[in-house]
Amino acid sequence: MHRILRCLLPALFSSALHPAVAADQIIWGKYNVPPYMIRSGEFAHQGIFDQTLDVLKDQLPQYEHIELEAPFPRINSEIRKGSHWCFNGTLKTAERETYGYLSLPSSIFLPLRIIVRRDRLAQFKGPLSLQALLQDHQLITSVMRDRSYSPTVDKLLAAYPPRENYSEQVEAIGMLLAGRIDYMIELPLLASDQARNMGHAGELVAIPMQEANEVVFNRVMCARNEWGRKLIEQVNRVLLANRGKAYYRSIVEKWHDPESVAEIRRIYDSVFLKTP
């Protein structure tokens, strides 16, 4: 017995000092931006980004997946620092590629619009010039910190930076509804859904802008280190195997009106699936 204990004790002591390493962990940063990410309520976790993330989580069982609610600037900061954080839903920019690895496209954003209150529509006759709006210092808008809107819009915002900014869309939609800002640059689907959730259905109007009619694609972004490089390679394999399937197409189309669904279908195979 004593001989057995002498053999076992060193092994037990070593196990206590060096516990088994847990499965590699991914923190998926998320925030409430219906209908892309829905964090609570009747349709919780039924957003477009929620469900495309479920595909990735299901197909990457070798990782421990943790969803953590945080404002986008915090998520972006963690990825910049090289933390084991990722975000499903970002746009590719040259700056982001300096600190993050980005996947193939995972979903679609239809063109941005100028969003105004319906009772002020007469003041905003479309199609509007975003540059003219940004140059008009009598009008106030607000933009999300660290967000990329689209290549054209990003250039205009860099040239004519608004004085106001926000961390979460619900904050900006609330300011617009309350009259604290005059307009915002946003996706119509997002703006209308957020207003409806706040009890103001039908009170916002989306107006085309002259400068930008771009369809842009969302991607997964992880830190630009070896961990992130390996993970994005695995994410890309999952996307390549699943994006062409009917169930994945239905996720990308979810929540859109029939006209928008038709627009998504026109570009899905010819553009979305072929964009690197």
pLDDT reported for residue 168: 87
pLDDT reported for residue 93: 95
Can you list the pairs that 268-276 forms with residues at least 24 positions away whose Cβ atoms lie under 8 Å? 268/108, 269/244, 271/215, 272/105, 272/108, 272/217, 272/243, 273/243, 273/244, 275/104, 275/105, 275/217, 276/104
pLDDT reported for residue 125: 81
Closest by CA position to 56, among listed 21, 33, 96, 86: 86
pLDDT reported for residue 19: 33
Contacts of 187 (CB under 8 A, 6+ apart): 109, 110, 112, 113
pLDDT reported for residue 204: 93
pLDDT reported for residue 259: 83
Closest by CA position to 177, among listed 149, 147, 153, 202: 202
Taking the model in full, what pTM does it have? 0.81
**The dihedral sign for the CA sequence 111, 92, 182, 131:** negative
pLDDT reported for residue 17: 36
The percentage of the chain sitting over the pLDDT mark of 70, rounded to a whole number, equals 92
Q: How far is CA 217 from CA 74, 150, 196, 258, in A?
A: 22, 10, 25, 20
**In a structure prediction context, what are the per-residue pLDDT tens digits for the chain, which is 276 residues long?**
444 334 433 433 333 333 333 449 999 999 988 899 999 889 999 999 999 999 999 999 999 999 999 999 999 999 999 999 999 999 999 999 999 999 999 999 999 999 999 999 999 987 799 999 999 999 999 999 999 999 999 999 999 999 999 998 889 999 999 999 999 999 999 998 899 889 999 999 999 999 988 899 999 999 999 999 999 999 999 999 999 999 999 999 999 988 889 999 999 999 999 999
109 CB neighbour count, 10 Å cutoff? 19
pLDDT reported for residue 2: 43
- Rounded-to-integer distance, Cα 221 and Cα 212, Å: 24
- Rounded-to-integer distance, Cα 261 and Cα 39, Å: 24
pLDDT reported for residue 212: 80
- Rounded-to-integer distance, Cα 200 and Cα 267, Å: 32
